[in-house]
Amino acid sequence: MQFIDPHIHLFDRNKGHYQWLNENNQPHWPDKAIIARNFDERDLCVESPLTLKGFVHIEAGFNNEQPWLEIEWLERHVQGSFKSVGYADITLAPFEFRRLIDRYKRYSSVVGVRHIFDDEAVELVEHPNAMTNLDYLAKAQFIFETQIDGNDFSAVDAVIKVCAENANLVVILSHGCFAPQAQEALAQWQTNIMKLAKCPLVYMKMSGWEMVNRRYDQTHISTVISSVIKSFGHKRVMLASNFPLILFSQPYQSLWHDYQSLELGTELLAALCYNNAASVYGFKGLHQDKL
């Protein structure tokens, strides 16, 4: 199976800040040491019949004061086919935000920016600069990425407001909005996922399973993916890894074997693992070999 991984992080702790990786800083994961080291594209190793054709690098806190430095580092060191999503604070003064986006345009790999919402979603969206900045982002034809808890109704409504006021903005939600495993909570999550799916330019990336439960199982993955496809359809869903955080639970290659073993059918699997990411992130000139 050939695939594009649309959500990975690479680290160079000798050059970047990565404050969140420091032992004494949040998040206080007892197993943080597993990922508190350098990672480069050689760590994204898979063996036949798996073939990694490209990836999307999501900002990882390299330098939030000068976030373009992470892009420069990537474009100097990555040899394979990749796109990048940089960091941008949507509450910046509009002239600062425009200057940052215009600077990102100079780099060939940049296709969008990320600002994590989490439990600050309402506060961020209600900020007087937010909608002005997101409008500029849409006009620049950049993607906006974020993450929310799908069981947080106020955060869901905040994303819907972003979409309503920025009709041309492509919004990508990461980690399946952290689908819970408990049945009652999962039902609430499903209700909110259906609300989000009504926004036509919202896409869902399915990854970060380890962020909900380090010991997630294949049955949970299958249930959640099926639910999201039912709401979003087959063209607005992507499977991803969240590397290197996936290592909290299993090896990189193992996750893609799990995806491959889902009973999705060849065409749907190709859409979720390759075609949708190639389309939304603009992997022009990258062709999937015939099987």
User: What long-range pairs does 227-235 form, CB within 8 A, spacing at least 24?
Assistant: 227/179, 227/190, 227/193, 228/176, 228/193, 228/204, 229/268, 229/272, 231/190, 231/193, 231/194, 231/196, 231/197, 232/193, 232/197, 232/202, 232/203, 232/204, 233/197, 234/268, 234/271, 234/272, 235/271, 235/276
| Whole-angstrom distance, CA of residue 252 vs CA of residue 262 | 16
| Whole-angstrom distance, CA of residue 205 vs CA of residue 147 | 10
Confidence at residue 291, expressed as pLDDT on a 0 to 100 scale: 35
CATH topology of domain 2-280: TIM Barrel (3.20.20)
Tell which residue, 46, 35, 90, has the closest CA to residue 67: 90
**Which run of H or E residues covers position 138?**
helix 130-139
**Which run of H or E residues covers position 162?**
helix 153-165
Share of the chain above pLDDT 90, in %: 97
pLDDT in tens, 175-193: 999 999 999 999 999 999 9
Assign 2 a pLDDT band (cuts: 50, 70, 90): very high
Token reading at 194 = 């259906």
Share of the chain above pLDDT 70, in %: 98
Average pLDDT for residues 37-66, to the nearest whole number?
A: 97
Instruction: Inform me whether the pLDDT recorded for 174 exceeds 80.
Output: yes
Confidence at residue 277, expressed as pLDDT on a 0 to 100 scale: 98
Residue with tokens 């010991």: 215
- The structure's pTM equals 0.96
Confidence at residue 129, expressed as pLDDT on a 0 to 100 scale: 98
Average pLDDT for residues 212-221, to the nearest whole number?
A: 94
**Which sign does the torsion angle of CA 117, 118, 119, 121 carry?**
positive
Token reading at 75 = 């474009």
Task: Give me the chain's average pLDDT, please.
Answer: 96
Residue 62 contacts residue 16 (beta carbons within 8 Å): yes
Assign 44 a pLDDT band (cuts: 50, 70, 90): very high
Q: Report how far apart, in Å, the C-alpha atoms of 112 and of each of 24, 161, 193 are.
A: 31, 19, 23
Token reading at 123 = 């506060």
Confidence at residue 133, expressed as pLDDT on a 0 to 100 scale: 98
pLDDT in tens, 193-214: 999 999 999 999 999 999 999 9
Instruction: Inform me whether the pLDDT recorded for 289 exceeds 60.
Output: no
Confidence at residue 284, expressed as pLDDT on a 0 to 100 scale: 78
